[in-house]
């Protein structure tokens, strides 16, 4: 299969907003990066990536506080959006920020034959997928429905990679028919891929997902490349898999090797450690006559969830860490970014229901919850929280837990946050909610999944997903 060449771009990324060093929000105001656009009262809503010291250029952030104390997204006042859309929690994205994030990866990959495979599990909104496809991305899939969605969104199947440790035969048949790359994750996975090739009558381009046993130094729930992980083949069994592929020349074509270390990684030398191991495996595989063209180093680059001003690795830092290794073996590089493409493009926008205390703790209760955004409850993840409007002059700054109405003590969006006591109905946002938030949302307590909107390049607001309703829930029982 021919290598995929990305169009090279070298955008001049403006410096990003510098946040206060304290990770808890204060009453600090900032000048906007963009001149603020005049906002009509009748806002129109349309349906619609370390070395320990990386030389990096930080991403421009699309959400910022202006000198007037209001939060803006690409020059659009979030308060105005709240007054225009339906009165419930909603996700608000910046479409231009998505574009900027992709362009940063494209610029970093200049000079390499590469595929940017967006990890659909991070966010599966169809409109976002169509935009990413239009920017030249491929897709990384971990289920049959993600595969079907990628095809519906128009992704080039030859720029799609089907991952997973439990891929089903019927889904593998679709992948084989469409010409999608498939990672071999286990002995039974190989058997299923062979069966899918026979059913479809197509030879499948496969990569071996090798567990490199590299510690990504992240939360154990998002670590995927250490020895205890459920993903990938044990490196000591490599020869067994090579022999198995050789035994099926009509069904399988081994074209590459794959590894994935984990998520929220903030030290790119970890990627280099893994890439060194992987190119050595590729040397060994090539020595046995296989034509290996692809190295897939996965994704997992972290972002500054704390808004602390930390200098984190950029896409260029990541790619430069493995560039010479890739060129030295004349390989095509596949990367699988998810969080670093989409997380910082979005906020979950909520309204304050009220403020209470139990005598030892203060609580800001909002209409959003763990049902809409589960990361803090699931693995104690931190996401920056702030109000969308200036507080009353008499508001006292206190330490609050920001919680929702769900009947669980685990229902919190943030703990021990220093915030001015807000009035009822005040807007409150949870930042960096583009990845692993809406895609993990549920209907627990019958809180229906929220609508999604984005700010377009011209500053207009478009609806990109309808919110679910109680009537949607009842439809599952019609005719039973």
CA dihedral sign, ordered 378, 381, 384, 385: positive
Whether residue 90 is contained in a domain is answered as no
Report residue 256 as tokens.
């590459």
What are the backbone dihedrals phi and psi of residue 22, each rounded to the nearest 5 degrees, phi first?
-75, 125
Q: Of 326, 113, 292, nearest to 207 (Cα)? A: 292
Sequence-distant (6+) residues with CB within 8 A of 284 are 238
Of the listed ranges 168-177, 387-396, 440-449, the least confidently predicted one is: 387-396
Whether residue 228 is contained in a domain is answered as yes
Give mean pLDDT, residues 22-37: 32
HSE (side-chain half, CA atoms, 13 Å) at 55: 4
Predicted confidence at residue 24, as pLDDT, reads 35
- Which residue is listed with tokens 């429905």? 145
**Percent of the chain scoring above 70 in pLDDT:** 83
Predicted confidence at residue 271, as pLDDT, reads 83
309 close to 260: Cβ distance less than 8 angstroms? no
Q: What angle do CA 283, 288, 294 make, to 5 degrees?
A: 50
Q: In Å, how far from its chain's centre is CA 148?
A: 19
Whether residue 325 is contained in a domain is answered as yes
Residues 306 and 434 in one domain: no
Of 314, 338, 362, the last residue of a domain is 338
213 close to 225: Cβ distance less than 8 angstroms? yes
| CATH number of 205's domain | 3.20.20.10
- Which residue is listed with tokens 């699988």? 336
pLDDT by residue (tens digit) across 69-111?
Answer: 999 999 999 999 999 999 999 999 999 999 999 999 999 999 9
Of 338, 356, 384, the last residue of a domain is 338
Give mean pLDDT, residues 40-46: 43
| CATH number of 432's domain | 2.40.37.10
Residues 120 and 221 in one domain: yes
139 close to 126: Cβ distance less than 8 angstroms? no
pLDDT by residue (tens digit) across 332-374?
Answer: 999 999 999 999 999 999 999 999 999 999 999 999 999 999 9
Whether residue 218 is contained in a domain is answered as yes
- Active-site positions read 407
Angle between helices 169-178 and 187-200 (to 10 degrees): 60
Residues 334 and 316 in one domain: yes
Q: In Å, how far from its chain's centre is CA 455?
A: 19
Residues 296 and 351 in one domain: no
Q: How many CB atoms lie within 10 A of CB 363?
A: 15
Report residue 205 as tokens.
């381009």
Q: How many CB atoms lie within 10 A of CB 55?
A: 12
Residues 282 and 200 in one domain: yes
Q: Cβ-count burial of 395 within 10 angstroms (0-12 exposed, 13-18 middle, 19+ buried)?
A: middle
Q: Of 167, 153, 51, 115, nearest to 298 (Cα)? A: 115
pLDDT by residue (tens digit) across 313-335?
Answer: 899 999 999 999 999 999 999 99
Predicted confidence at residue 230, as pLDDT, reads 59
Predicted confidence at residue 299, as pLDDT, reads 82
Q: Which residue has the higher pLDDT, 54 or 329?
A: 329
Checking if the pLDDT of 12 tops 80, the result is: no
Q: How many CB atoms lie within 10 A of CB 310?
A: 15
73 close to 63: Cβ distance less than 8 angstroms? yes
Whether residue 394 is contained in a domain is answered as yes
Residues 301 and 165 in one domain: yes
Residues 250 and 275 in one domain: yes
pLDDT by residue (tens digit) across 223-257?
Answer: 444 455 556 787 788 999 999 999 999 999 999 99
Q: Of 236, 239, 241, nearest to 206 (Cα)? A: 241
What are the backbone dihedrals phi and psi of residue 242, each rounded to the nearest 5 degrees, phi first?
-65, -40
Give mean pLDDT, residues 158-177: 97
216 close to 223: Cβ distance less than 8 angstroms? yes
Give mean pLDDT, residues 189-193: 97
**Domain tally for the chain?**
2
Residues 133 and 192 in one domain: yes
Of 338, 358, 381, the last residue of a domain is 338
Q: Of 325, 328, 209, nearest to 271 (Cα)? A: 325
How many angstroms separate the Cα of 232 from the Cα of each of 199, 312, 438? 25, 28, 27
Residue 155 CA to residue 168 CA, distance in Å, equals: 21
Bridge partners, 228 (sequence order): none
Residues 363 and 311 in one domain: no
> b/e string for 97-106 if b means 16 or more Cβ within 10 A?
bbbbbbbbbb
Residues 120 and 220 in one domain: yes
**Domain span at 451:** 346-477
Checking if the pLDDT of 190 tops 80, the result is: yes
Q: How many CB atoms lie within 10 A of CB 457?
A: 10
Instruction: Please provide the average confidence, as pLDDT, over all residues in the chain.
Output: 86
Report residue 296 as tokens.
């897939």
Whether residue 22 is contained in a domain is answered as no
Residue 130: band (very low, low, confident or very high) from pLDDT cuts 50, 70, 90: very high
Give mean pLDDT, residues 288-299: 94
Residues 268 and 355 in one domain: no
Residues 214 and 311 in one domain: yes
- Which residue is listed with tokens 């909520």? 350
What are the backbone dihedrals phi and psi of residue 59, each rounded to the nearest 5 degrees, phi first?
-65, 145
Q: Which residue has the higher pLDDT, 211 or 184?
A: 184
Whether residue 236 is contained in a domain is answered as yes
Whether residue 53 is contained in a domain is answered as no
Residue 299 CA to residue 49 CA, distance in Å, equals: 9
């Amino acid at each position: 299969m021919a290598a995929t060449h990305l169009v090279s771009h070298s955008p001049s990324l403006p410096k990003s907003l510098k946040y206060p060093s304290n990770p808890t929000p204060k009453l600090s105001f900032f000048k906007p990066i963009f001149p603020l656009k005049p906002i009509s009262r009748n806002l129109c809503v349309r349906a619609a990536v370390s070395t320990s010291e990386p030389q990096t250029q930080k991403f421009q952030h699309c959400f910022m506080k202006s000198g007037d104390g209001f939060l803006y997204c690409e020059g659009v006042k979030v308060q105005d959006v709240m007054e225009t859309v339906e009165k419930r929690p909603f996700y608000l994205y910046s479409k231009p920020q998505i574009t900027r994030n992709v362009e940063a990866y494209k610029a970093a990959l200049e000079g390499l034959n590469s595929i940017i495979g967006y990890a659909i599990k991070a966010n599966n909104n169809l409109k976002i997928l169509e935009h990413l496809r239009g920017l030249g991305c491929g897709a990384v899939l971990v289920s049959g429905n993600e595969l079907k969605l990628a095809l519906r969104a128009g992704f080039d199947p030859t720029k799609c990679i089907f991952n997973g440790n439990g891929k089903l035969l019927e889904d593998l048949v679709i992948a084989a028919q469409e010409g999608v790359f498939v990672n071999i994750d286990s002995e039974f996975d190989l058997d299923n891929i062979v069966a899918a090739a026979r059913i479809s009558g197509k030879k499948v381009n496969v990569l071996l997902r090798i567990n490199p046993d590299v510690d990504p130094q992240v939360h154990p729930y998002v670590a995927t490349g250490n020895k205890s992980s459920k993903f990938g083949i044990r490196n000591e069994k490599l020869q067994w898999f090579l022999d198995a592929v050789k035994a099926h020349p009509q069904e399988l074509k081994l074209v590459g090797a794959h590894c994935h270390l984990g998520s929220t990684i903030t030290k790119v030398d970890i990627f280099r450690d893994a890439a060194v191991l992987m190119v050595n495996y590729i040397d060994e595989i090539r020595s046995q006559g296989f034509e290996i063209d692809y190295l897939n180093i996965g994704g997992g680059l972290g972002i500054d969830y704390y808004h602390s001003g930390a200098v984190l690795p950029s896409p260029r830092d990541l790619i430069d860490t493995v560039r010479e290794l890739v060129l030295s073996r004349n390989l095509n590089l596949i990367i699988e970014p998810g969080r670093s493409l989409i997380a910082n493009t979005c906020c979950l926008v909520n309204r304050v229901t009220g403020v209470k205390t139990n005598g030892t703790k203060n609580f800001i209760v909002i209409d959003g919850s763990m049902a809409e955004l589960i990361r803090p409850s699931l693995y104690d993840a931190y996401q920056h929280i702030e109000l969308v409007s200036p507080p009353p002059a008499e508001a006292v700054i206190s330490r609050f837990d920001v919680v929702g109405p769900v009947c669980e003590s685990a229902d919190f969006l943030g703990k021990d946050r220093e915030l001015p006591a807000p009035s009822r109905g005040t807007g409150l946002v949870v930042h960096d909610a583009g990845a692993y938030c809406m895609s993990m949302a549920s209907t627990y307590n019958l809180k229906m999944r929220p609508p999604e909107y984005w700010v377009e390049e011209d500053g207009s607001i478009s609806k990109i997903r309808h919110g679910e309703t109680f009537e949607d829930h009842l439809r599952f029982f019609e005719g039973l």
